Chains A and B, each alone.
Chain A
Amino acid sequence: MIETLAVDLAWGWILAIKTAVVLSIIPFGALLLGYVFLLKMMSHMQSRLGPMDPGGFHGWFQLIGDGIKFLQKEDITPEGADRRVFALAPAIILVSTFLVYIVIPVGPRLIVRDLDVGIFFALAVSSLSVIGVLMAGWASANKYALIGALRAAGQLIAYELPLVLATVGVVIQAGTMSLQGIVYAQQNGEIFGWGGIGNPFILTQIVGFLLFLTAAQAELTQTPFDMPVAESEIVGGYYVEYTGFRFLFFFMGEFGTAFAFAGIAATLFLGGWSVPWVDGTAADVLGPIVMLTKVMLVSFLIFWVRFTYPRFREDQLQSIAWKYLIPLSLVNILVTGILKVAI
């Protein structure tokens, strides 16, 4: 392999660069999803005129305008609020988002840390955000915020199980939990003896893919699973009392996590960064582009559903998780396990 891009650096510098890159990917991903899907796609699908107007061409100024608006808002803490917990809650959500990015590979060498427990790590740290949500809802001293936090906790507990179980099929097939290992397993796989494009696990794990996307939709509290933040019922749920920059933290957390989950889905089921017949430095260059394309594809599915369906009721929400998704994912694991041993 030609090491054209290799530069020798002390470990402290490498750590600093990796941290800076991940820290810049979160707002970048959040803004990208917010711009492309929330503003443009939704405007087209639902005939919304507002976001298409500012700045002239296609409303390009809307997001920048929103950013300026957030920055000049007053930073308000409600009088009865628990100040320390109130201030800490958005940070916990962002830290949880930040940690998920550590194990997502975008090239043969472009990964913060290829942990052996990979996917398990990502799901474990993403579950930390629930603590942040509960802290935000309670510390706001607002009943709508508290109701929103309770709805969020009930929903996230229920959908974490199918989310974790949906990935088990992929782990069984790949024989590893490392996301980099899963990419290589797909790259080196064969479809009925033909190894031309490897074997993306969406072909064999289509059930797992659909389960993962459904559960991720609920984890991200996107419509139709948006009961915790339902504006028409509880005026925004757990972040109702947050203003300005702190509200922006929640926005970043939500869309940054959506970007990360789309990345995990792309890695687990669509082959991640791998490009057929390309490796070495070329893969390092092409990988991020291919990965971004796949991430946008998965995000498109998430937001397509978000803009299309109405909200579920609480009882429907719980019965979908416990009566359908979890049994289905257990059957998926069983069948995958049997086929793995038999073939």
Chain B
Amino acid sequence: MGPENVVFAVIAAAMVFSAIRVVTTRNIVHAALYLVIVLAGIAAQYILLASEFLAWVQVLIYIGAVLVLFLFGIMLTKAPMRGDNDLDNDQRWPAAVASLFLAGVLGTILIDGYGDVEIAEPEKIVRTGDLGRSIFHDWVIPFEVVSMLLLGALIGAIVIARRD
């Protein structure tokens, strides 16, 4: 077991623990803060995979923007200091079934796709310049399609939210 695997295991354990706390904690602000740890863990795993740029995109977008908006929304509507017993509902078992199903599907796909193939160590860190070239040269059409999709979603959200 190489040092990467040890680091992976430590980060993964912290992520799993925090992910469980996200859904079991009684305080919704704490849940959001545990989610910060999970998302930071994903960024750390990207760094382990030598995808530096992706890791910091993860930090900037998910922690710096998405979770700040989560916390902002929670605190703007209600900011409970004490735990809230209404957080639980009777969807416990369907949720467990759905997540087990998802874990099963993803696990099967990964094992089927890679099996015991040893993934070669990345020869060098992916340079941002190469990444840009591959997005805007090799994959420019899919990139533009995704951009249009997101733009459509944005406009749709504004149209639905507008009252007048």
Q: Which residues of A contact B (CB under 8 A)?
A: 80, 82, 85, 115-117, 120-121, 123-125, 127-128, 130-131, 134-135, 137-138, 141, 146, 149-150, 153-154, 156-157, 160, 164, 175-177
Contact = CB atoms under 8 A, between A and B. Distances in A.
B53 interface: yes
Question: Which 9 residue pairs across A and B have the least CB separation, nearest first?
Answer: A127-B64, A124-B60, A124-B56, A124-B59, A153-B72, A134-B71, A130-B68, A121-B56, A117-B53
B64 A138 contact: no
A115 B57 CA distance: 14
Nearest to B125: A116
A155 B65 CA distance: 12
Nearest to B76: A150
Contact of A157 (B52, B59, B68, B125): B68
A80 B76 CA distance: 19
Contacts of A160: 64-65
28 contacts: A85-B33, A116-B52, A116-B125, A116-B127, A117-B52, A117-B53, A117-B56, A124-B56, A124-B64, A125-B59, A127-B60, A127-B68, A128-B59, A131-B63, A134-B68, A134-B71, A138-B71, A146-B79, A149-B75, A150-B72, A150-B75, A150-B76, A154-B72, A157-B69, A160-B64, A164-B60, A175-B129, A176-B129
Nearest to B43: A124
Nearest to B130: A116
B61 to A, nearest CB: 9
Chain B binding surface SS class:
helix
A15 B36 CA distance: 27
A127 to B, nearest CB: 3
Nearest to B64: A127
B81 A153 contact: no
Contacts of A134: 68, 71-72, 75
A82 B68 contact: no
B19 interface: no
B29 interface: yes
A156 B79 CA distance: 20
A141 B80 CA distance: 9
Contacts of A121: 56
B49 interface: no
A127 B72 contact: no
B147 interface: no
B11 interface: no
B55 to A, nearest CB: 9
Contact of A131 (B56, B67, B76): B67
